[in-house]
Amino acid sequence: MYAAYVTVTILASILTGIAAVTYLTGHDYPKAQADMKRVPRSWLPVLGTALAAGSLGLLAGFVVPLLGTVAAAGLVLYFLGALVAHLRVGSRQLVGWAVFFSTSVAALTVNLTHHW
């Protein structure tokens, strides 16, 4: 079980960390997604910071287990909010969302299973 916990946690941290970098560096993809979902571009740094905090929190969970659990739960909530943003504008482009959401749920699941 420990190997699954480490693997899934690191994978989720890498994926969300990459997403955070694209949001924080002003990459065109997050801008296009924000425009499509009618989210103000001024929110992109905040969203990127939330992703970065989640990514780092997952890794910090190796030292402070509660922090990892809270970070994983926060990422699940973040991606539920992203689903709402997609559905609000009628977007059915949910493959990327599904990858991030399922990875976050998996991180939360292995975290809870391993520590609690």
Residue 56 pLDDT: 98
Residue 35 pLDDT: 94
pLDDT, one tens digit for every residue, the chain (116 residues): 899 999 999 999 999 999 999 999 999 999 999 999 999 999 999 999 999 999 999 999 999 999 999 999 999 999 999 999 999 999 998 999 999 999 999 999 999 999 87
Contact 108, 116 (CB under 8 A): no
Q: Which domain holds residue 106?
A: 2-115
Q: How many domains does the chain have?
A: 1
